[in-house]
Amino acid sequence: MNRKKPHVFVTRMLPDVVLQRMKELFDIEVNEGDKPLSIDQLKEVFNKFEVVVPTVTDKINSDVISYSNQKLKLIANFGNGVDHIDIDCANKKGIFVTNTPGVLSEDTADIAMALILAVPRRLFEGEKKVREKDWVGWSPNFMLGRRIYGKKLGIVGMGRIGTAIAKRAKSFGLNINYHNRNRVASSIEDQLNATYWSSLDQMLSNMDIISINCPHTPATYHLLSARRLKLIKNDAYIVNTSRGEVLDQETLIRLLEEKKIMGAGLDVFEREPLIDERLLKLNNVFLLPHMSSATLEGRIEMGERVIINIRTMVDGHRPPDRVISGTTI
């Protein structure tokens, strides 16, 4: 006897190979307009479907989840971060929430490492001069940046991504330091020759480059607060590939303008996709459009994890990537 296919709604256009596979397995509808849905549109979706596949651009708050009907069994997030979903509200209604952990660690680490290299060496400024035909030739003092080798890298959040960054950074001769909620295994510390700092304040004040890699949760909102940002050395750099809300962007902009922080590489922003005009005017900032996870391979793997979670739920089992209160279990 053939089991009825679950009714699935996908909020954004995914790679063709992923959508094709979903169409083979599920009864799906897709937001072909590929624009973020409004709260009212999301409510309609949650009141109609058995499974919803949202992305980071969808604000799945308590109003949306409370509007869901009894059919909705699973919110299968297309992505690792779940700060846009009210997990507690979903749990109370008996709705599974899943994500795609571990899929994007290497891709995100690549972009973080690219920013760690690009910002101190002023690659954005150099490329801009060439493109704008403002380069008149080599000279000894032209475009002097800072050496990477031997510098102290402080990683805020030593999970999968932070560890992947540390492995890359070690090969470039950086000294690895990290702050984490829990200290990592001694074997990892030994492999990376990494120094653990129990005090985030002390680590920030001693680093040459800081990479932010912790998830955005209520506990990490403005983890790098105005007070902590002012602890950072004047000749240090910040790279953020996690979430814009983890640092106080207003204070960061002011410190960059005043050269009290030397430079920053940002792939994420508060209130994105809106970008503060002051950031656009700064030459000591390398800005990217939230693209650290943007590889075709990664997106396909994300889709495969979503499909596995849906199929497992349909088969009557607990999905493997279930999330409770922001933590994969």
The pLDDT, as a whole number, for residue 329 is: 33
The fold of 7-103+295-328 is Rossmann fold (3.40.50)
Per-residue pLDDT tens over the stretch 8-28:
999 999 999 999 999 999 999
Question: 105-287 has which fold?
Answer: Rossmann fold (3.40.50)
The answer, yes or no, to whether the previous bond of 140 is cis (omega within 30 of 0) is no
Whole-number percent of the chain with pLDDT over 70: 98
Cα(239)–Cα(318) distance, integer angstroms: 37
CA 8 to chain centre: 25
Chain segment 103-160, per-residue pLDDT in tens: 999 999 999 999 999 999 999 999 999 999 999 999 999 999 999 999 999 999 999 9
**Active centre residues (catalytic):** 243, 272, 290
**What percent of the chain clears pLDDT 90, i.e. is strictly above it?**
94
Query: For residue 322, what is the DSSP state?
Result: B
Q: Please give the average per-residue pLDDT across 76-87, as a whole number.
A: 94
Q: For 245-261, b where at least 16 C-beta lie within 10 A, e where not — what string?
A: bbbbbebbbbbbeeebb
Would you place residue 69 in the very low, low, confident or very high pLDDT band (cuts 50, 70, 90)?
confident
Q: Which of 52, 93, 81, 97 is nearest to 272 (CA)?
A: 81
How much of the chain is helix, strand and coil, in % rounded to 5? 35, 15, 50
Say if CB 137 and CB 158 are below 8 A apart: no
CATH 3.40.50.720 location in the chain: 7-103+295-328, 105-287
Q: What is the mean pLDDT of the chain?
A: 95
pLDDT tens by residue, 299-329 = 999 999 999 999 999 999 999 999 987 554 3
* pTM for this predicted structure: 0.90
Q: Is the pLDDT of residue 98 over 60?
A: yes
Give residue 70's pLDDT. 82
Q: Tens digits of per-residue pLDDT, 176-197?
A: 999 999 999 999 999 999 999 9
